[in-house]
Amino acid sequence: MEFFRISRTIPFMRHALVLNLISAIFFVAAVFFIVTRGFNLSIEFTGGTVIEVNYEEAIPLDDVRQTIGGLGYRDYQVQNFGTPRDVMIRLPTHGDGDTNASTEQSRAVLSALQAADASSSNKVELRRVEFVGPQVGQELVHNGLMALLFVVVGIMVYLAFRFEWKLAISCALANLHDVVIILGFFAFFQWEFSLAVLAGVLAVLGYSVNESVVVMDRIRENFRKQRRMSTSDVIDTSITQIISRTVITHGSTQMMVLSMLFFGGPTLHYFSLALTIGIWFGIYSSVFVAAAISMWLGIKREDLIKPVKKDEDSEAEVLG
């Protein structure tokens, strides 16, 4: 299925050096901000207080957020769970960061919510208060990093079996490029890094691998078909041929992600933001980073096509 067909090959590799230099600058800058500024970790990683309240009738979450913000909190989360009447509130640790501090926080929050709804008949009831210590947060950080490591290793093993080593290295570097760029954005702007964002980063890894595999598969296919083309021409032809597919796939995905970004509320905001950055940089890296690196590593037709054995040649001649 194609929305359009490009009859003329676009010379992508003509600009590969300049674009990869720009990409290298972004990559180094992202690593610099990750090391120097770090991440604005959510309370899921740093620990805090979890408060569950129940309303007699459904209540807009923006009203609850406004009430919590009026208490002086900045790093907090408010979301529904179960039903629209059940609200979960996550607050950062204040004071000594123990169960006593959590109890005080829950009392202050409940009093504020009751005062905000005093004029209405929608009564609020405290259901549960739980303190999440920093030890649990450190465990989540460790488990999250291990999950990311296992995914990266698994992808590299898959690519090593799927492609010739030059193409595999190119895909692996392109995927690493996407992840580091996303993390660099979150470090530079100090956006909240939560478990949802980590899930978005892992999703981008799989998405980027899929795009890179499509590009490399087409390059391998055209190397087998086009015997007299140069390497750069084969790569340019391959990328041009999949542009329509890229527009359909990434366009439909981006529409869904943008709907979460604009209408999903604060809970899905940074998750969808990570996906948006990953989708666009995934396209860029698959076209310019992965393809260009494979070209510079000296990929050629002989690397992708197995030579015919002499016994098979002689048998073919006899049958012929």
Predicted pLDDT of residue 46: 76
For residues 139 and 204, what is the distance between their CA atoms, to the nearest angstrom?
23
Task: Scan for tokens 């590009």, then name that residue.
Answer: 215
For residues 45 and 47, what is the distance between their CA atoms, to the nearest angstrom?
6
Mean pLDDT of the chain: 82
Q: Span 218-236, mean pLDDT?
A: 86
Return the higher-pLDDT residue of 112 and 185.
185
Note the pLDDT tens digit of each residue in 159-170: 778 777 888 888
Note the pLDDT tens digit of each residue in 23-54: 999 999 999 999 999 888 887 777 788 888 88
Residue 221 vs residues 16, 27, 232, 282, 288: alpha-carbon distances, Å: 21, 31, 14, 22, 19
Task: Scan for tokens 């009093």, then name that residue.
Answer: 111
User: Distance from CA of residue 90 to its chain's centroid?
Assistant: 24
Long-range Cβ contacts of 237-241 (<8 Å, 24+ apart): 237/9, 238/291, 239/10, 239/12, 239/215, 239/287, 239/291, 240/6, 240/8, 240/9, 240/10, 240/12, 241/6
Predicted pLDDT of residue 135: 63
**Tokens coding 115:** 């005062």
Return the higher-pLDDT residue of 174 and 314.
174
Note the pLDDT tens digit of each residue in 261-319: 998 877 788 999 999 999 999 888 888 898 899 899 888 877 766 655 555 554 444 44
Note the pLDDT tens digit of each residue in 95-148: 555 567 677 888 888 888 888 877 667 788 888 888 776 666 677 777 877 877
